[in-house]
Structure 1
Amino acid sequence: MADTLIRDAPADADRYENRLLAILFLAFGFVFFDRQALAFLAPYMDDDFGLSNSQLGVLSGVLALTWALAGMFAGSLSDRLGRRKPILVAAVLLFSLFSSASGLMTGFAGLLAARALMGTAEGAVLPMAQSLMVEASRESRRGLNMGLLQGSSAGLLGGILAPIVVVRLADAFGWRTAFFVTIVPGVIITALIARYVLERAPRAEANGPAAAAEAQEVRPAPKVPAREVLRLRNVVICMLIACCYLTWFVTLITFTPKYLTDEKGWSSGTMSAVMTCLGVAWVLWGFATPAISDRVGRKPALIGFTALAVCCPVAVVYVGSPVLLGALMILTYTGLGCFTLIMATIPAETVPRGALATALGVIMGVGELAGGFLGPLVAGWASDAWGLQAAMFIAAGGAAIVVALSFALRETAPAVLRRRAAAEAVGA
């Protein structure tokens, strides 16, 4: 009987790993479905709100601000309590409710408040989800799993489905209805997390009862002060990169729909189709970039794919054909795969387990404050002053700085480090 349990333990751990990935894929993907909805609905809301570029930047920025603060608080709280699942359940349910509330607002101030509350709930999701995922993942699939969770999920639901579903709902029933329907999938995902997600993954039991007993002894991971986390070189570099990369992402995704409709004069349908190409790239690179980094290393993957990401906002300005622009977006919208590396994988391979959620929350939070909050505010002001192309150049500049910062990172990919150690041993 014991032999059967030992043989079955790895299979059980693998099944749970896949199940957890599927549930968290839906959870974080739906976060970005809600977050992206405002950008796609902005052209429809002009009749009721007459949003300026600056106001659109404020709405995007306030969500990033509360997202950042909530992410840092939730990560620290989770590490202190040693619990992640209850925080994740509450966060998913609340952001669904607050997203729906956006459809009830009749003025800019009310919409601003709804977006702020939505960010407060959403900010807790990523640190909790990635902390759970890294503990359930096999080493050989760590980058791939974390990329699917954070990059591909957001791309599929937020980048592909959101522009199609949201625009069609707004065309058929009005923009308010597009906000109202978001509560349904949120409640379903909350129920799945409550029913199937475990506080501790069974991965430690895969090697039999002895390993399980040992894992139980080390599970109460020692608490690590936040100041010690902030002394780690990779954590500091990842924070700086997050600031610049969030500027690239939030500015690009916030102002591209308006740039395509207002500056290029394209129809809402054409805009939606081009934005869907971003979603396709998001899904593709969201898992491909981290998976490639498992083999070639985190640092070279980050440098190479970010160099491509610089070209994406530049193409928005200079390419006049929707078909060509869509193709170029699929090729160059590589940043969301890189997000997984700097917000999840590299920190997870750098910090002790007892500080994991804290590190993820701080990196995401600081990045959202600088790039997600201040970035679109500056881009909105610059767009009102010099035209929407200014926002695209700000986005490109953010990615260019990331390329330079990435050279300061220390490699963390286990396979690469083992190859280096073996080469050094042979050389010695």
Structure 2
Amino acid sequence: MEKKKFWSYENKLVTIFFFSIGFVFFDRLAINYLIPFIQQDIPITNTQIGMLGSALALTWAFAGPLGGLLSDKVKNKKLVLAIFIIAFSVVSLMHGLVESFALLLILRLLMGVLEGPITPITQSILAVESSEKRRGFNMGFTMNTGNAVFGSLLAPLIIVALATAFDWHTAFYLTIIPGLILSFFILKSVRNPKIETEVKDSSAVSNEKVGIKDVMGNRNIVLSIIIFSFFMIYMMAFQIFGPTFLVNYKQLPPSTMSLVMAAFGLGFAIFGMLVPAISDRIGRRPTGIIFGFLSIFTPLSLLFVDSVSLLLLFVFICSSGSGAAALYMSIIPAETVPLKFAGVAIGLTIGIAEIFGGVISPIISGIAADAFGLTAPLLISSSAAFLAFVFSIFIKETAPAKLAIKQEINTDDVVTEL
């Protein structure tokens, strides 16, 4: 039977979405590694660097929840997903044609519109199609590891190498090819899940109809939004200003900068799938607390470690904290509400977090960098990671395995009392 085969539909879906989300973040983060090259042709201040990050996050913030609603409503999800991937690939290619900051800013705004819906659509499909014992791993592997492998590991290596060998324009021109390939496989291999499908044994406590107000009124959803917002501040400040800090402040060559950022990407890639998988076994809450604590020290490593070899080691180890991001971005929200509303829950969490972490944070970090120096964004990054850690303590457990054990214990207690 299909379930006994490795190349089951579930594994096929995970593989396709791994590359899809990875490609999204490859395009989103590529510009961060190209800023030192772009600045040679287009004068860009630290504040404007922050504005470029905020522009994409602003439109992503609105497109994310809309993408979640769209995911829960439309029947042909795979067609919508393929269209969005082709569209943002074209816009990414157009980045290579710009000759001014204004045009670059406009393209970042448009990129956010087209990339925002992709994560809620893919994650809501996975929430329904995944077996409960693998839901954390599947969603973490596609979201965390896909993001990390392509956006944080391969992007700095490939993008910097292309920009060094040719120019920064060329680095944007090749993005249309993987977009077309991915769209083909999505249309060919992905099935449209039934909207009414509901996993009866889901950890969501109710099968009743709920609306956006009900979703937003849930304690775990509110906490997930707060925690993921701080995670976004931590990640954006680090990923946007980390490369510029290493090159312009620490005077490291671009090749060394790319290795340091790739070390973060490698750790994010490995721990991005291990941390959610661990949470399947020991629970979402303790996993988030333990690994979230390590995030605090990632930006501090750039500030206080001068040895390149030690810097690579510290950044790699501390990047394990980023593996907890998927817990609050998609896994916990999806498990908190009935699965047919997973798209809305995930979209709202991402959208609101993008406003604070993706829109406001980069601008503030950029202004702080111009006023106080490039160390300021990294201090902001570390502080945000600390606050995410504090709020993670108050999350209610949602992992199916842990809830099943708890229910079993409660049942035994009732039987004993009788």
Find 2:294's aligned residue among 308, 311, 326.
308
- Structure 1 position 86, deviation (Å): 2.4
Q: Which amino acid aligns with 2:299?
A: P
Q: Match of 1:339?
A: 325
The gaps in structure 1 that reach 5 residues or longer are 1-7, 205-210, 216-220
Q: Match of 1:29?
A: 22
1:274-333 CA-to-partner distances (Å, cap 9, x unmatched) read 111011111111101100111111011111111000011111100001111110011001
Find 2:42's aligned residue among 49, 66, 69.
49
Q: Is the 8 A contact 2:75 2:192 kept in 1?
A: no
Cα 1:13–1:235 change in 2 (3 A) is: farther
Q: Match of 2:204?
A: none
Cα 1:424–1:222 change in 2 (3 A) is: closer
- Structure 1 position 76, deviation (Å): 1.4
Distance 1:335 1:33 in 2: 20
Distance 1:125 1:77 in 2: 11
Do residues 16 (structure 1) and 9 (structure 2) align? yes
- Structure 1 position 426, deviation (Å): 4.0
Do residues 124 (structure 1) and 139 (structure 2) align? no
Q: Which amino acid aligns with 2:360?
A: L
Do residues 295 (structure 1) and 281 (structure 2) align? yes
**Partner of 1:50: helix, strand, or coil?**
coil
Matches within 5 A, 1:2-401: 8=1, 10-11=3-4, 15-200=8-193, 224-401=210-387
Alignment root-mean-square deviation, CA: 2.0
- Greater mean alpha carbon deviation, residues 130-139 or residues 117-126: 130-139
Distance 1:292 1:120 in 2: 33
**Partner of 1:394: helix, strand, or coil?**
helix
Q: Which amino acid aligns with 1:176?
A: H
- Structure 1 position 336, deviation (Å): 3.1
Cα 1:335–1:116 change in 2 (3 A) is: farther
Q: Count the aligned residue pairs.
A: 407
Distance 1:93 1:398 in 2: 34
Q: Is the 8 A contact 2:30 2:159 kept in 1?
A: yes
Query: Which of structure 1's runs of 4+ aligned residues deviate more than 6 A?
Result: none
**Partner of 1:411: helix, strand, or coil?**
coil
- Structure 1 position 182, deviation (Å): 0.9
Q: Which amino acid aligns with 2:246?
A: L
Q: Is the 8 A contact 1:234 1:346 kept in 2?
A: yes
- Structure 1 position 70, deviation (Å): 0.5
- Structure 1 position 82, deviation (Å): 4.6
- Structure 1 position 334, deviation (Å): 2.5
Distance 2:265 2:114 in 1: 24
Q: Is the 8 A contact 1:80 1:223 kept in 2?
A: no
Q: Is the 8 A contact 2:22 2:146 kept in 1?
A: yes
Cα 1:116–1:184 change in 2 (3 A) is: same
Q: Match of 1:5?
A: none
**Partner of 1:381: helix, strand, or coil?**
helix
Q: Match of 1:4?
A: none
Distance 2:73 2:91 in 1: 27
**Partner of 1:349: helix, strand, or coil?**
helix
Provide the TM-score with structure 2 as the length reference: 0.94
Cα 1:404–1:14 change in 2 (3 A) is: same
Distance 1:123 1:223 in 2: 26
Provide the TM-score with structure 1 as the length reference: 0.91
Distance 2:367 2:65 in 1: 28
**Partner of 1:265: helix, strand, or coil?**
coil
- Structure 1 position 12, deviation (Å): 7.1
Residue identity over aligned pairs, in percent, reads 37
Q: Which amino acid aligns with 1:65?
A: L
Distance 1:422 1:226 in 2: 32
Distance 1:416 1:26 in 2: 30
Q: Which amino acid aligns with 1:31?
A: V
